[in-house]
Amino acid sequence: MQLKRFMFATVLLVASFFSVTAFAQQLEPLPVDPAVRMGTLPNGLTYIVRHNANPKNRANYYIAQKVGSILEEDSQRGLAHFLEHMAFNGTKNFPDKKLIGFLESIGCRFGADLNAYTSFDETVYTIMDAPTDRGKGIIDSCLLIMHDWSNSISLVDKEIDEERGVIHEEWRSRDNAGMRTLTALLPKILPNNKYAERMPIGTMEVVDNFKYKEIKDFYHKWYRPDLQGIIVVGDIDPDYIVAKIKEIFADVPAPKNAAERYFVQVEDNETPIVAMAKDKESTNTILKIMYKHDVLPMEMRGTIVGMMYNFIDQVTSHVINERFEELQRKPTAPFMQAGAADMDYMGIAKTKKALHFIAVPKEGELNPTVEVMATEIRRLKEHGITQSEFDRARTNILKAFETMFNERNNAKNASFCEEYKEFFLNGGYIPGIEVENEMAKALAQQITPAIINEYLKEIITDGKNLVITVEGPEKEGLKYPTEAELQKLYETSFAKSVEAKKEEVADTKLIDKDIKAGKIVKEKKNQKFGATELTLSNGVKVYLKKTDFKDDEIRMTASTHGGTRLYKSASDIKNAKILNSALGLGGLGKFDAIALDRALTGRRVNVSASVGAYTTGISGSSSVQDFETMLQLVYLRFTSIRKDDEAFQTFKNNTIEQLKMKERNPLASLGDSIMVLLYDNNPLFKNLTIEDMNTVSYDRALAMARERFASADGFQFFFVGNFDEAAIKPLIAKYIASLPKGKAVKKMDRTKEPNSRTGMKTMKVQKEMETPTGVVVDFLKAPATYNMKEELTSQILSGVLEQTLVASIREREGGTYSPATGTELADYPKPQVSTYVQFFCDPERAEQLNKIVYDELNAIVKNGVNKEYFDKTVLNIQKRHGEVVRENGYWLNNMKSFFFDGENWVDGYDATLSSITPKDVQNMLSRIMNSGNRLELYFRSAETAKKN
């Protein structure tokens, strides 16, 4: 209903700036990017293929299915998601676990490079960064995997039964307060609608008990080529890929008498729907005010009307979020966060959109939040947006298009795959960024605030299609209005006439004063990094490395010695914990935080400052055009840290609110328990409490921050990216060499840093939980040598342990969904290597599963490392390293490590990795296991919690 009048007006607008012939053409689908090969096989399968060499010698493979949990029968609830799991447990050409084994053998890591997801209306499987330079056999095999996922998943009875436990543990890990309140709300706001009863995880009654035939019936009914799209993007020959797709998928039959792929419609509501849901473990209240409206018809999404609609949506969201950001920065705001987005209704239903206004009220402030939100929504409907708001939004949107255009030759495979996936599943357009950039510039000249305001008047109704929901904690003493009272409060607030938003003219000149430039007093070349080293008149060292990895990116980092460990008093230890927040609260120079954001409209630049335990730093990035702006922000970070008492009071209030919320979530205290286990209540590692927040000093935190940035002497700056060295040197002299010079801080002694607890300790924590849950955390450590070989050995051990635990406590035992493990090398306070293991599970199985973990670790110590796991991990590390060396961030970090930290992580990397043997990994784990340092945490629901 609602969008029809607005869409008609939009079509007339399109017609107004095209000739009759051209107008007819504009309502035709936009052309497909000529770099894309797209087609449909006789059996109905769609393919989309593109050559792209970023990263080089890699390709991504997607199979997107227009199939999800919405298609399940009552007896199949959860089986769309279950089927996704089974796709990794055996197919026709890759029986048992050979599919995962093959992909890991070519360097693709399960979870990171090999994954899938199931939603209400879609299921998507992905293989990422598979090599293309090791023969066509790997390419063919990846396409064969896509083929098997399409039509040849084995669905072996034994594998189905083993997977039931894994799914159950995934449900356990996700059955939190947010999931429970959403599940409670859906039947109220989607009455008599299938979307309300088809959460993809399903019901555990079905998962635990369904007959094998149910999942096989679902698979054969819905997994079929007319609902599937194959997407391949990478360093491949498109002709070969297309030919191979036609060959491999030729035996997948077109469905006979296929069931209709129906789409569940969401009905309009003539009167408002208001619904509330509470949960004892909810940490905060969430208010949503939604205005449902029709989706853009599929046939129009791929035309210029669709592009115009998307542009209008972006402008609208930008302006609304800018308004709410300004409101939430005030100490008197009744909410901590607020914003808006136009998206699928509740993020679920593809057949109905809604303009969502979302706020997180402070405790006890729901009613004032409703009043403020309703007032601001009324302001949008009655007066719309201002010209200055529109101009800022339009400028930022066009800047984003410009950036994508400038980086068009460096776009990653993943970005194209995601774009084409959305196109296949939801319609739209893929003409290429060259076309989109030009059309965006043309549309920006035609769309006006008046058009946006007409759109808002159509969408924001006086009651029809209005839906209001509240999710919040069930807590003694916390009162809520009834649903009728909530509706009345909204309607009363919305009915009041309001003033229009005032026009604002932003000041865009960051620095008013004239800056006297310093000098570059020394320059030399560094052959190791292909960099230029500059010494400035104020003692600053600058390192410049020009790259061609990205056409429109320059990245920066800077460090000096001295950090929060310089401050010893109990009060300063607490003040140090808000220091980094204090640095960013007040804006810079003459600009508060809001004014600074607006001054930077249309500029792609960011600069942040931070103070660590032992060092102080600044980091940032910019487009080529905005490099000078980045340096201006650096200058202000040193010279003009701005105090804003109102901003700090907002920060303080919100932090206290968050701490209150944390107390209601039993799992939120897991991190605190881990820190107690590791550091035994050492104040350096304790999180701030509500009492602490009431005593910290903003003035003292700012004073500490200003001390750390009082002198640039001793700082080392690193710049990596696409710059003209001759052009940026004068800017470096102006903005960095002119920074104040004082006494440089010497490198601090890190050997006195408190170490984590040694010896053996087991800690048990019980919390009341709605869903019985156990969390096990193990932490082990041993002395080490801090060098590249130890670092790479620890990385290999991480990969070996991950595969070991997935195979044992997930696949064999069905005891957990996603075991986490890692091994890390640290250089202070003493060089040491540590391993951690963490997993969620049935609380009654915690000790049993952890015994299995230790049995597996001890088996490696006794019998050696699984050679297959070792080889797969090494190959994955090699593959990742080959990709990151083509990224600016890699060189930025390694230059800093070399020149500032004195650590060389570049020279001899490949040779060192190749020299490491399974015996080295076994020996490292043996040292860790035999060190006598073992900490265990069993965190679980109390006996009085609800039984499963």
pLDDT band at 533 (very low <50, low <70, confident <90, very high): very high
How far CA 241 is from CA of 69, 150, 236, 272, 793, in Å, comes to 31, 17, 7, 52, 38
Q: Where are the beta strands (DSSP E) in 189-267?
A: 228-234
Q: Name which CATH class applies to 520-749.
A: alpha beta
Bridge partners, 721 (sequence order): 546, 554
Residue 27's pLDDT is 77
Residue 22's pLDDT is 52
36-251: which CATH architecture?
Answer: 2-Layer Sandwich (3.30)
Stretch(es) of the chain classified as CATH 3.30.830.10? 36-251, 270-410+439-495, 520-749, 755-941
Taking each continuous run of H as one helix and of E as one strand, the counts in the chain are 33, 23
The model's pLDDT over 412-460, given as tens digits with 9 standing for 90+, comes to 999 999 999 999 999 999 999 999 999 999 999 999 999 999 999 999 9
**CA pair distance 296, 226, nearest whole angstrom:** 23
Which three-class secondary structure state does DSSP give residue 131?
A: strand
Q: Which helix (H) or strand (E) holds 734?
A: helix 725-735
| Burial (Cβ within 10 Å: 0-12, 13-18, ≥19) of residue 500 | exposed
What fold does the segment set 755-941 form as a domain?
Cytochrome Bc1 Complex; Chain A, domain 1 (3.30.830)
Contacts 24+ apart (CB under 8 A), 645-650: 645/698, 646/329, 646/330, 646/331, 647/329, 647/585, 647/586, 647/587, 647/592, 647/593, 648/582, 648/585, 648/586, 648/698, 649/331, 650/328, 650/329, 650/330, 650/331, 650/333
Percentage, residues of the chain above pLDDT 70? 97
pLDDT band at 948 (very low <50, low <70, confident <90, very high): very low
The model's pLDDT over 687-729, given as tens digits with 9 standing for 90+, comes to 999 999 999 999 999 999 999 999 999 999 999 999 999 999 9
Are 456 and 384 in contact, with CB atoms under 8 Å apart? Answer: yes
Mean residue pLDDT across the chain: 95
**CA pair distance 797, 873, nearest whole angstrom:** 9
The model's pLDDT over 168-212, given as tens digits with 9 standing for 90+, comes to 999 999 999 999 999 999 999 999 999 999 999 999 999 999 999
DSSP of 433-455, one letter per residue? HHHHHHHHHHHHHH--HHHHHHH
Are 906 and 731 in contact, with CB atoms under 8 Å apart? Answer: no
| Lowest model confidence (mean pLDDT) among 16-25, 358-367, 474-483 | 16-25
pLDDT band at 10 (very low <50, low <70, confident <90, very high): low
Q: Which of these, 835, 842, 772, lies nearest to 813 by C-alpha position?
A: 842
The model's pLDDT over 478-522, given as tens digits with 9 standing for 90+, comes to 999 999 999 999 999 999 999 999 988 888 999 999 999 999 999
pLDDT band at 20 (very low <50, low <70, confident <90, very high): very low
Does the domain at 270-410+439-495 match CATH 3.30.830.10? Answer given as yes
**CA pair distance 840, 816, nearest whole angstrom:** 6
How far CA 558 is from CA of 58, 588, 619, 632, 890, in Å, comes to 33, 19, 6, 15, 15
The two three-digit tokens of residue 620, written as one number: 């940032």
- Cβ-proximal residues to 585 (8 Å cutoff; 6+ apart), any chain: 593, 644, 647, 648, 651
Q: Which of these, 576, 549, 408, lies nearest to 890 by C-alpha position?
A: 549
Q: Average pLDDT for residues 604-628, to the nearest whole number?
A: 98
**CA pair distance 451, 6, nearest whole angstrom:** 9
Spell 291-313 as b/e; 16+ CB within 10 A means b. Answer: bbbbbbeeebbbbbbbbbbbbbb
**CA pair distance 848, 851, nearest whole angstrom:** 5
Are 310 and 296 in contact, with CB atoms under 8 Å apart? Answer: no
**Residue 533 backbone dihedrals phi, psi, to 5 degrees:** -105, 125
Residue 3's pLDDT is 57
User: CA geometry: angle at 766 spanning 762 and 767, to 5°?
Assistant: 150
Residue 11's pLDDT is 56
Q: Average pLDDT for residues 110-126, to the nearest whole number?
A: 97
Q: Is the pLDDT of residue 944 over 50?
A: no
Residue 946's pLDDT is 43
Is omega for the bond preceding 829 within 30 degrees of 0, making it cis? yes
**CA pair distance 754, 254, nearest whole angstrom:** 66
Residue 667's pLDDT is 85
**CA pair distance 724, 728, nearest whole angstrom:** 6
- Tokens 């984003």 found at: 400
Q: Is the pLDDT of residue 945 over 50?
A: no
Residue 506's pLDDT is 82
**CA pair distance 463, 269, nearest whole angstrom:** 9
**CA pair distance 937, 779, nearest whole angstrom:** 9
Are 183 and 279 in contact, with CB atoms under 8 Å apart? Answer: no
Are 841 and 815 in contact, with CB atoms under 8 Å apart? Answer: yes
Q: Is the pLDDT of residue 836 over 70?
A: yes
Residue 662's pLDDT is 85
pLDDT band at 666 (very low <50, low <70, confident <90, very high): confident
Q: Is the pLDDT of residue 118 over 90?
A: yes
| Lowest model confidence (mean pLDDT) among 16-25, 182-191, 286-295, 578-587 | 16-25
The model's pLDDT over 721-763, given as tens digits with 9 standing for 90+, comes to 999 999 999 999 999 999 999 988 999 999 989 999 999 999 9
